[in-house]
Amino acid sequence: MKWLSESSSAEPLKSTQRFVMTELDFAQAPPNNARRPAAADRTAEDEPICTIVSNDARIIERCAVIAVGAAVRINKCTDPQLLPADGSGPVLWGSDMAALAENTSRPVDVLVGLEDGEAIVWSLASRIPKARVAVLPSASQWLGEYLGLWAMRAGHGHTLALHSTAGGLGTTTLALLLAHAGTLSGLRSAMIDLDPHSQGAWPLVCTQPPTGIGWEELRQSGGALAAHQLAETLPKLRDTAILTWSQASRTHELEDQLVIRLLAAARQGFDLVVVDAGRAPHPQRLALNQFIDRNIATASSLTVPASGEVVLCGEQKLRSTPSGFPQILGAFPDFPRISKAIERGQLFDSFKSRALRQHLSNLCLIPQMKEQSP
């Protein structure tokens, strides 16, 4: 069974956005050779990394302690010519070697020195105006926050947020389908339920939730969330990770810091993160916007927003021309197969529908794997 190429009625797809599916059996997970390594197998290579260019043991030791606190791995470099040129992470230059930074094209993010050599650090900074300065130990907190903030936003995972302009549009259903479509395309995918009025996503997809943690457990957790731990502990249904509430409630309140830690870890642990943000505007939209790559509105023909990217749910076309300049990505109509699958609590069974796969493909919301040819 294959994903279809775009239909003649669909707008041309950009090569970087095409949703291409290869042969697979929808009743099973994608073949092992079509999937990327599990999060637990790739922590060493994918965790946030910074580099310290120094031979001073005192500077290296202090920076190493700060990096550990910021959940960032630090690499020592004694030869500037060996610095990575791909901008893979911040480059800290110790005051003992920073003079070499003046005559190199390598990045200089932070000049680091100790208080007994503060004058040297500031003298170097005057000749490298774009470099930040950290005089330790007084600037330890600032350097930790700098590395921690960079690490939070360093995740490679593409984060897609769906927010509805009205109730009952099926935003949660679409979020689940997009996340599982990513899984079927060979991506490590997760659906994060951040709807403040969520009724819980499990009744849509299964009668008995798989083993794993939900928001109730995460609210009781403290400290940092490691990406590999999150990827291992979230419940998975047919290889798609789902974070939702175990029980429905009138409203669900989450602290901003928990949402920030969760999304930071999710971006590092997954290739595709689909966020169900519920009815717009979201109370934590400022925190969400730090991590979102694309914000998509789900709307009916009567509730189309004035701007932004929009998916029409339940309707094939607009009844009237909306005011403003929204970008209509396409329609996601009501499919009888979806309704029947939800009644059985087996939403992912609806992927057997050729028409459903075609409509998901035409929305162009799933990032393409680098290994796939356009």
**Is the per-residue pLDDT at 157 higher than 60?**
yes
Q: Of 126, 209, 199, 119, nearest to 167 (Cα)?
A: 199
pTM: 0.68
Average pLDDT value for residue range 229-240: 93
- pLDDT band, very low/low/confident/very high, at 29 (cuts 50, 70, 90): very low
**Is the per-residue pLDDT at 335 higher than 70?**
yes
Condensed to tens digits (0 to 9), the pLDDT of residues 258-305 reads 898 888 889 888 999 999 999 989 988 888 888 888 999 999 888 999
- pLDDT band, very low/low/confident/very high, at 17 (cuts 50, 70, 90): very low
Condensed to tens digits (0 to 9), the pLDDT of residues 175-195 reads 999 999 999 999 999 999 999
At 310 the pLDDT is 94
Among residues of the chain, what percentage have pLDDT more than 70? 81
At 369 the pLDDT is 62
Query: In terms of pLDDT, which residue wins out, 15 or 206?
Result: 206
Lowest mean pLDDT among 58-67, 97-106, 120-129: 97-106
Average pLDDT value for residue range 54-82: 89
What mean pLDDT is reported for the chain? 82
At 343 the pLDDT is 92
**Is the per-residue pLDDT at 87 higher than 70?**
no
